[in-house]
A and B are shown apart, each in its own frame.
Chain A
């Protein structure tokens, strides 16, 4: 039908993972590329997200690791001469970039057609006024809203709209100044605040519909106008909470047919009127007590919700959307599940799915925990079951395998509980259970928390079963009907064991002896009505039979990494799939994947032989292995979540493939690891484990402060802290942790001014394949996930590098490592110390694999199966190639959070760019994460404490001055710089001295500061409360204003090096790899890819400056559903 209409198409990705735009776009982009490949279309991928599967070497196409801004994409259009561009597979980032390319005339200039929804349709959904107009045409109501410019006007309008009213402040970052006013009194105050915050002195008043139901539909439409709704979804916490932070259930549970169809027909009308071709999401607010409804917004692209809907139904939305964009029609396409029936149908579900967000707010100092209109979660899980509780309780354990959703042991007074319900936080479900146990009536809970009573009644069932279990006397035998009821409700063996005060294993044995086990069910899009052969599976206790029989003998189960979260993200999905593909290539008859994150490629059912969309818990893995009789389980690619199961699975007699559980335990148990290092004479920092404060203090005094304090079995630096002095140690150990024999604290000497280096490798127990040695730009003390790092190392000497490889080889042999591993080292003055060994795939593996073109996990698959590696030595980096990885932070989205980096990881994603020099790659990677390049002749604000640091700052400051930048500094720093004869140094007074001028806050507000270095005082001198507060306010303000902020001198210095570089050199735009020509005849990295350059203008750095922050200024759009 398309008949080769398109030859080559550019696909824009979404860049680094950030709050509101996460790994779901790896799923949509990957499905899109699959569709292009099927059609023989050459796909050109632009995406700097190094950890994605969509940027792996393509079978037909090329991959550019470049910022998603018009300045970088236009040269690609010029060089590649594609006939089309796809904007709807890379989230808001791709859509924004596409709109800018169109606005700048780039698409017209290069004769590139926008495939799928035309630009006019995209604009109709992006521009508020146009949206209202189009919805009016479609006869779909929108929420009345009005702009006001004064308090008086506001009261007038609010009276008209009716209280409460929602305030939105135009053109402010992060929705600052917005909120809800319930009374005229609140309105007066809110409008005053809003007008002050608004640069155009305008506040938008809207009717507040927080208590309305929030219902979404996923709509697919083709060029002939054929349209279907694939799925609808209901948000349990109503309109009040952003859908990204909401508990979402599919299909909707509390809608009647009349309501369902009312909204469905409105969705179809709205989408047709916008002219959508492909996929979109439409969101409605529906009155819980009438048929009144409003369309809130349309996302004319794949989204988080569409990824969820795909996984919830088995309907491959992104794949179909890509096919439709290429010109196919819905009836032409087949339902990929049955292979026989048409894709033009609406899936029928015989189960429910519950999406639960994964928040990591505890990782962010000062972050506001309340849930509301802006998104704060970093990932999500999806539980599948036969009832809301079963699916929900699964989703809870999917989010954290240690978690259980159960009523608390004791309840607080009702009014306290209600106060919490009125301002929901991530704990809202626990609070509902507490309210139920405390006897708060359902209606009261519902009215306070804006939760439909249907959901509360379902939770009441959980509360009651828990109570009945607790009433079981410890010694009496368990009641089978009660245990069955509990299992059908989704309770884990562990939750039952806790309630009846028995051992978890006893509960398991009891139920298995009674024949009580879950059954395997298939997601087949047609509720069992048509025979299907899909391998998309889940388990439920509400069933009598399995839909599948065990796979062929020798089958392997690969454990995925669960939800995206700080410290474990899309890189582990990449690892899971690369390893699964490797196992398959090595002849494993059937490779199954277990994962529970709907935003991933690994949960795409046609990527593996069998997909278990299930909990990554011991109980569930055992169930699955027993039912499907796997020959072995792989735990080394699913981050710490999978790795933590290794010893437990081994104890249950389940074969864990790869490095032996004993070796893993040796690496993870600090004491045993230390002994091994001593045996091997590998240096390590002084450390010891403590169970009392006194002994801890004694040790710290002995080795000298600062010290690093942390628990064993760490995931991404949780609760880890650098302690500068004796007083702080006491405070931390008594307040932030509990010291006991079961919870020892490990204290390590913290080595200052050391650099941190990582090594990733694969071993078969004898040979060693090193992926590379990565050097952190920042000094040790910044979590490796938050550090900028580069390849090859800039400062680590060849001798040290050789020594590190030798350490890796000795460890690989000593521990008989079979598979991937990662070592972290400290290097100082030519000497090294080992700080950590991870016997699993690491975060940096995709970067090294892509930079070197060496398929490290393919080799790891061989090692895991006991075969020898095919390569030994260090993976060669193509000569002249530099790669730089830069973290992506989401501080702006997290109201109040402190953007200070430390040993706790806080970044939500990362990018990597490549180039002929460090500076070239660095600048592109920084721009790709939204860091602006300071405008020429602008000014930098620098604030560092202590003479030593000031001395270290000097060369960088001189370089800045030489580049023509002015310097702002606080009194001490300014005096120091002036003494060293730096020109144009201006004193700015502190935040806490608002009466002294010129003040730093004024300078920030007036846009006079283009760049900020704020090295925290806490690392360099004793804490002073007010000073800390000053520093926090400065950092926070810089983030809110989009000013590049550095809290480490080394990263700042690297940035300045980048500024100097772009002054003299154009930035390169080059594909990292791809197939040559458009025939797809060769695979792998190719030379001969056209090298184009961003044209240098008279003010070279100005280009990225003007564009990069755009995606951040649109706060509503930066956190789409």
Chain B
């Protein structure tokens, strides 16, 4: 219902057509997409650009907000991302619910161009590359490494498969420096004498099983020895690196109202966006233990290892959009690193 600028720029949505169930979009426009924070990260967005391949909404509205600098649809146009309004998105959601995630095509044309015949659209759809065959992570991962944050802060390596700005900002806000690495990079033990004291593997698009290089890196003993926080795709990659397995969900968990249940009877509301999940049965013998589950379908929502070094969760503790109650995992991670650093 809120958070469309964040969702549309979330690299995890790379390559997807995103359908919004809430019937009104664009209410508060788009905050300045060019605004940057003190670290040079997009101030309001989860990456510098719209990541989805298309947007489906029921209704668009006239924006009103003090922080808005433009309309949603004109921003999408500038970003070269097509959208379609006037669709019965509830019906589409119900269809996706029973059929599972589908491939779609949006016929984009200006008003005087003739409509593309249906058969042609169907053919184009058939010929389009498969979602899980596309190198989506390569598209959203940085080409080279970069360091953010103050020199005096402990340094955390981030294997960037398309990590959201807010995850990085959560580290920086806790006075942790970030070593942002391409997804297939090797995690160095230090950078110019500054030791890497922790590792974060964040979110990203696509099937985790296709990211062999990242999984291999996570298996490497020195990398494995680092206190590690996994989020979303990172959660899945860490499971794979320890011998677990993942599978594709029928239509994924996407939304800001997902429940994460813990063994002691407590639960948290988190934001989620994932189409794949870790098979909890595959964790036996890996040294990983279930930390949290989804009470609705029993899927794995979090895991930790027996040494206390690794904690990973399927949801998004950083919110943006969505709840931030799970933000305490960043606090714990930061405490762990500081203890280790000192």
Interface residues of A (CB under 8 A from B): 224-226, 228, 251-257, 260-261, 264-265, 268, 288-290, 329-332, 340-342, 344-352, 386-388, 452-454, 457-458, 521, 527-531, 542-545, 547
Contact = CB atoms under 8 A, between A and B. Distances in A.
Contacts of B89: 350
A387 B259 contact: no
A331 B259 contact: yes
B24 A527 contact: no
A344 B23 contact: no
B54 interface: no
Contacts of B48: none
B322 A345 contact: no
B65 A254 contact: yes
A830 B31 CA distance: 79
Contact of A542 (B27, B59, B266): B59
A454 B265 CA distance: 42
A340 B296 contact: yes
A330 B31 CA distance: 36
Interface stretch (B90-98, B144-152, B153-161): B90-98
A845 B44 CA distance: 60
Interface stretch (B105-113, B189-197, B225-233, B250-258): B250-258
A261 B269 contact: no
Contacts of A256: 2-3, 5, 28, 31, 65, 67
Nearest to B87: A544
B124 interface: no
A249 to B, nearest CB: 11
Interface residues of B, number: 50
27 contacts: A226-B266, A252-B2, A254-B65, A255-B28, A256-B31, A260-B3, A331-B261, A342-B259, A344-B259, A345-B257, A345-B269, A346-B257, A348-B257, A350-B23, A350-B93, A386-B23, A388-B24, A452-B64, A453-B64, A457-B61, A458-B61, A527-B90, A527-B93, A529-B97, A529-B255, A543-B91, A547-B90
B132 interface: no
Contacts of B6: 257
B260 to A, nearest CB: 9
Which of B31, B66, B257 counts the most A-chain CB atoms under 10 A from its CB? B257
A254 B324 contact: no
Contacts of A346: 256-257, 269, 323
B1 interface: yes
Contact of B90 (A224, A329, A330, A528): A528
A453 B3 CA distance: 20
A352 B88 contact: no
A346 B319 CA distance: 14
A938 B296 CA distance: 66
Given A457-B64, A529-B97, A332 B265 contact: yes
A227 B88 CA distance: 33
Contacts of A228: 269
Contact of B58 (A344, A454, A542): A542
B15 interface: no
A342 B261 contact: yes
Given A342-B295, A344-B261, A527-B22, A224 B266 contact: yes
Contacts, number: 151
B241 interface: no
A226 B267 contact: yes
Nearest 8 Cβ contacts at the A-B interface: A257-B3, A454-B64, A527-B21, A346-B257, A528-B93, A457-B62, A257-B321, A544-B88
B10 to A, nearest CB: 12
Contacts of A345: 257-259, 269, 296
A751 B95 CA distance: 68
Interface string B177-193: 00000000000000000
A352 B265 contact: no
Contacts of A257: 2-3, 5-6, 319-322
Contacts of A225: 266
A529 B257 CA distance: 12
A268 B325 contact: yes
Given A340-B296, A342-B295, A351 B269 contact: no
Nearest to B88: A544
A544 B94 CA distance: 12
Contacts of B64: 254, 452-454, 457
Contacts of B93: 350, 527-529
A387 B265 contact: no
A253 B27 CA distance: 7
A330 B267 contact: yes
Given A530-B97, A531-B97, A254 B323 contact: no
B63 interface: yes
Nearest to B294: A342
Interface SS of A by simple majority: loop
B178 to A, nearest CB: 22
A517 B312 CA distance: 50
Interface in B1-22: 1-3, 5-6, 21-22
Contacts of B3: 256-257, 260
Contacts of A260: 2-3
Contacts of B65: 254, 256
Given A344-B259, A528-B90, A547-B90, 13 more contacts: A224-B266, A264-B323, A268-B325, A288-B66, A329-B265, A344-B261, A347-B257, A351-B23, A387-B61, A454-B61, A527-B90, A531-B97, A543-B91
Contacts of A255: 2, 28
Given A256-B2, A527-B90, A528-B90, A348 B21 contact: yes
Nearest to B86: A542
Contacts of B61: 387, 454, 457-458
Contacts of B257: 345-348
Nearest to B321: A257
Contacts of B261: 331, 342, 344
A264 B321 CA distance: 12
A646 to B, nearest CB: 35
A254 to B, nearest CB: 6
A530 B24 CA distance: 21
A225 B59 CA distance: 38
Nearest to A331: B267
Nearest to A350: B21
Nearest to B251: A529
A261 B251 CA distance: 26
Contacts of B322: 257, 261
Nearest to A347: B257
Contacts of B295: 331, 341-342, 344
Contacts of A329: 265
A544 B91 contact: yes
A342 B267 contact: yes
Contacts of A332: 265
A386 B21 contact: no
Given A348-B21, A458-B61, A543 B325 contact: no
B325 to A, nearest CB: 7
Contacts of A224: 264-266
Contacts of B269: 228, 344-346
Nearest to B262: A331
Nearest to B28: A256
Nearest to B62: A457
Interface string B252-292: 00011111010011111100000000000000000000000
A330 B3 CA distance: 26
Contacts of B321: 257, 261
Contacts of A342: 259, 261, 267, 295-296
Contacts of B267: 226, 330-331, 342, 344
A458 B91 CA distance: 25
Interface string B56-95: 0011011111110000000000000000000011110110
Nearest to A341: B296
B319 to A, nearest CB: 6
Contacts of A453: 64
A211 to B, nearest CB: 13
B338 to A, nearest CB: 23
